Amino acid sequence: QVQLQESGPGLVKPSQTLSLTCTVSGGSISSGGYYWSWIRQHPGKGLEWIGYIYYSGSTYYNPSLKSRVTISVDTSKNQFSLKLSSVTAADTAVYYCARAEGSSSRIDYWGQGTLVTVSS
Amino acid sequence: EIVLTQSPATLSLSPGERATLSCRASQSVSSYLAWYQQKPGQAPRLLIYDASNRATGIPARFSGSGSGTDFTLTISSLEPEDFAVYYCQQRSNWPSMYTFGQGTKLEIK
């Protein structure tokens, strides 16, 4: 059973960089066939896809966030990470890491989510 | 960017009734359409992928249909645990990205 767990600061100051890590267990990021993804949900709102990374390092980002987002992978630790720069209060959200299957529409495994608040 | 529009925004039904949720795409997504259930404080749970395939462990009362731009999630007979928010999601290849609908809240009448 694949499990994903987000970790990182729950509070970030405006203009700083939000950094989160997702640790994957029960499966290897290096096995291929999956897009390792970040998705966020503003309080009381819907879901927004941020971007994903393939084990090879190829990335795709939501055009609306592309200028501020970097997703990276560390296959030796079976982890992938999110950096979102120049944050504002509008970036306050629950951030989920998830696994998307490359050959279908499904996002089949999700982390529990972590709330990140942007405030001074 | 493909926009997904879900209707209705809120659906009020009683246990045992049939629920029909709609998702319309601004352009064709072929069959690359999935449905999720989300309860308060929880991550979304995959129900249906590729328009009509039930995910592992999902009860048979959940079914999906459609292709192109119009999709439907049907819950044949509502159980108390089915009252939640439901999202549709599409995956496009060019550009490679995912988008979600705004959600339908299924509430107890």
Q: Could you report the per-residue pLDDT of A8-63, keeping only the tens digit for each?
A: 999 999 999 999 999 999 999 998 889 999 999 999 999 999 999 999 999 999 99
Q: Could you report the per-residue pLDDT of A70-90, keeping only the tens digit for each?
A: 999 999 999 999 999 999 999
| Cβ contact A97:A111 at 8 Å | yes
Check A49 against B1: CB less than 8 A apart: no
Chain A positions touching B43 (Cβ under 8 A) are 96, 98, 110-113
> What's the token pair of residue B49?
């992928």
Residue B90 pLDDT: 96
| Cβ contact B18:B76 at 8 Å | yes
A46 vs chain B: nearest CA distance in angstroms? 5
Average pLDDT over residues B5-33: 97
> What's the token pair of residue B61?
């009362």
Q: Could you report the per-residue pLDDT of B26-67, keeping only the tens digit for each?
A: 999 999 999 999 999 999 999 999 999 999 999 999 999 999
| Cβ contact B3:B10 at 8 Å | no
Fill in the DSSP letter of residue A31: G
Residues comprising chain A, all counted: 120
